[in-house]
């Protein structure tokens, strides 16, 4: 943190200067510290930095310098910006209600909004740390590939997203990234113990692997999508955790059938993360992923099972499936925690069950 802080200046005209790729992570820290000024815009500051408005010099965020920020107070909402562009009440009602800034990209579900390009331009005005706006569609195929369209800005879909001290390199046109899982990613880094042996099934670009490895856990990370796997390897290096991550580009079932030799003489693990929403689906007389996962779990180990569950079945369905798979192997289940992470689709919730398998 720099000590180069101007004095004698009204706090509501201050801004901290940070490198552009760090902008969203710093904004999150400033919001947590209660000093982010939402009434003013993030603005460019030179070629590689932005000035983030603050109400007072922050005590927790690192930055290059504190500067006086000039200019008019920003229009606070997307509605304000669209009205300035002449949108009617009916058109504004169809505008997006939420979006997320991922690195240098704004990711938004455009829905039935008219003139998506104008929405994109407004979002870029609101978020000076971003240079591209992507309209997000669905996720398709077994590789969970996103359907996105550039609607404004430079069109660069490759970025580095930073949150809770972890850097995620990714290409949002090729791999998925769920902003709604932010708290869950952070939580996984908080609950693991140093030297825990963890199996991260469906690891993606390292959503859960990276915070767990950063906390000291030893992680076997399995991902089948070749593009996501490349980012997984890159991100392990980017975060300095390659010595604690053993990555496999493979089907989880093949890795489990071959034995977890990455842990040497210990063929079982202390903790398993199943982050794929459909991994608990029954397969014939058993469960394609739950069965081998439970077999690989140390007695007393913990599973973190994600599922897209109809609201009326939450949390009964995932718990029943875990108990059924465990019972077939003569094991018992203690449910430790259940959480709704976010809405998945209409009437369907993304839920997580933490369970100890004895």
pLDDT tens sequence across 295-308: 999 999 999 999 99
Give the model's pLDDT for residue 45.
84
The overall average pLDDT reported for the chain is: 88
Topology adopted by domain 178-357? Rossmann fold (3.40.50)
The reported pTM is: 0.81
d(Cα 229, Cα 250) in Å, to the nearest integer? 9
What are the domain boundaries of the chain? Answer: 11-68, 78-156, 178-357
CATH number of 11-68: 3.30.70
Taking the CA of residue 206 as centre, how many other CA atoms within 13 Å lie in the half-sphere pointing to its CB? 33
**pLDDT per residue as tens digits for the range 15-30:** 999 988 888 888 888 8
d(Cα 135, Cα 137) in Å, to the nearest integer? 7
Give the model's pLDDT for residue 33.
86
The alpha carbon of 75 is separated from its chain's Cα centroid by a whole number of angstroms, namely 28
Give the model's pLDDT for residue 167.
95
Contacts of 183 (CB under 8 A, 6+ apart): 341
**pLDDT per residue as tens digits for the range 96-106:** 999 999 999 99
Give the model's pLDDT for residue 27.
87
The two three-digit tokens of residue 53, written as one number? 């408005």
Please indicate if the annotation marks 178 as binding a ligand. Answer: yes
Does residue 231 contact residue 143 with C-beta atoms inside 8 Å? no
What's the rounded mean pLDDT across residues 343-354?
A: 90
Please indicate if the annotation marks 28 as binding a ligand. Answer: no
Reported as a pLDDT band with limits 50, 70 and 90, residue 153 is very high
- Indicate whether 34 pLDDT > 90: no
Candidate from 3-12, 77-86, 128-137, 249-258 with smallest mean pLDDT: 3-12
d(Cα 91, Cα 95) in Å, to the nearest integer? 7
Please indicate if the annotation marks 251 as binding a ligand. Answer: yes
Bridge partners for 247 per DSSP = 221
- Indicate whether 263 pLDDT > 80: no
What's the rounded mean pLDDT across residues 276-286?
A: 89
Reported as a pLDDT band with limits 50, 70 and 90, residue 2 is very low
Reported as a pLDDT band with limits 50, 70 and 90, residue 6 is very low
Which 3-state string (H, E, C) describes the chain? CCCCCCCCCCHHHEEEEEEHHHHHHHHHHHHHHCCECCCCCEEECCCCEEEEEECCCCCCCCCCEEEECCCCCCCCCHHHHHHHCCCCHHHHHCCCCCEEEECCEEEECCCCCCCHHHHHHHHHHHECCCCEEEEEEEEECCCCEEEEEEEEECCCCEEEEEECCEEEEEECCCCCCCHHHHHHHHHHHHHCCCCCEEEEECCCCCCCHHHHHHCCCEEEEECCCHHHHHHHHHHHHHCCCHHHEEEECCCHHHHHHHCCHHHCCCCCEEEEEECCCCCCCEECCEECCHHHHHHCEEEEEEEEEEEEEEHHHCCHHHHHHHHHHHHCCCCCEEEEEEEEEEEEECCEEEEEEEEEEC
Reported as a pLDDT band with limits 50, 70 and 90, residue 9 is very low
Asked: is 78-156 a CATH 3.65.10.10 domain? The reply is: no
What's the rounded mean pLDDT across residues 256-280?
A: 78
- Indicate whether 110 pLDDT > 50: yes
d(Cα 353, Cα 184) in Å, to the nearest integer? 12
Reported as a pLDDT band with limits 50, 70 and 90, residue 191 is very high
**pLDDT per residue as tens digits for the range 127-142:** 888 999 999 886 654 5
Candidate from 51-65, 195-209, 248-262 with smallest mean pLDDT: 248-262
What's the rounded mean pLDDT across residues 144-151?
A: 84
- Indicate whether 271 pLDDT > 90: yes
Question: CA 148, 173, 169, 202 torsion: positive or negative?
Answer: positive
Please indicate if the annotation marks 223 as binding a ligand. Answer: yes
Give the model's pLDDT for residue 254.
86
Please indicate if the annotation marks 271 as binding a ligand. Answer: no
Does residue 138 contact residue 152 with C-beta atoms inside 8 Å? no
């Amino acid at each position: 943190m720099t000590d180069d802080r101007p004095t004698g200046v009204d706090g509501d005209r201050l801004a901290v200067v940070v490198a552009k790729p760090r902008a969203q992570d710093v904004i999150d820290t400033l919001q947590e510290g209660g000093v982010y000024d939402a009434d003013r815009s993030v603005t460019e500051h030179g070629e590689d930095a932005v000035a983030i408005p603050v109400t007072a010099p922050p005590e927790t965020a690192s930055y290059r310098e504190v500067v006086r920020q000039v200019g008019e107070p920003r229009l606070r909402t997307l509605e304000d910006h669209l009205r300035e562009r002449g949108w009617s009440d009916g058109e504004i009602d169809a505008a997006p209600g939420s979006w997320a800034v991922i690195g240098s990209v704004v990711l938004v579900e455009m829905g039935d909004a008219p003139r998506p390009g104008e929405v994109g331009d407004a979002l870029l005005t609101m978020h000076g740390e971003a240079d591209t706006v992507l309209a997000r569609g669905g996720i398709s195929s077994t590789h969970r590939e996103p359907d996105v369209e550039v609607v404004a800005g430079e069109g660069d879909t490759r970025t580095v997203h930073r949150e809770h001290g972890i850097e995620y390199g990714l290409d949002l046109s090729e791999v998925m990234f769920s902003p709604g899982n932010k708290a869950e990613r952070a939580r996984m880094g908080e609950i693991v113990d140093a030297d825990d042996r963890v199996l991260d099934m469906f690891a993606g670009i390292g959503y859960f692997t990276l915070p767990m490895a950063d906390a000291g856990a030893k992680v076997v990370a399995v991902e089948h999508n070749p593009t996501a796997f490349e980012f997984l390897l890159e991100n392990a290096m980017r975060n300095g955790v390659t010595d604690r991550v053993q990555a496999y580009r493979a089907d989880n079932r093949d890795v489990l059938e071959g034995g977890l030799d990455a842990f040497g003489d210990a063929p079982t693990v202390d903790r398993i993360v199943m982050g794929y929403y459909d991994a608990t689906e029954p397969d014939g007389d058993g469960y394609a992923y739950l069965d081998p996962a439970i077999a690989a779990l140390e007695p007393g180990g913990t599973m973190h099972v994600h599922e897209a569950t109809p609201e009326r079945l939450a949390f009964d369905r995932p718990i029943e499936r875990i108990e059924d798979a465990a019972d077939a192997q003569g094991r018992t289940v203690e449910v430790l925690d259940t959480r709704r992470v976010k809405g998945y689709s209409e009437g369907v919730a993304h839920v997580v069950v933490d369970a100890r398998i004895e």
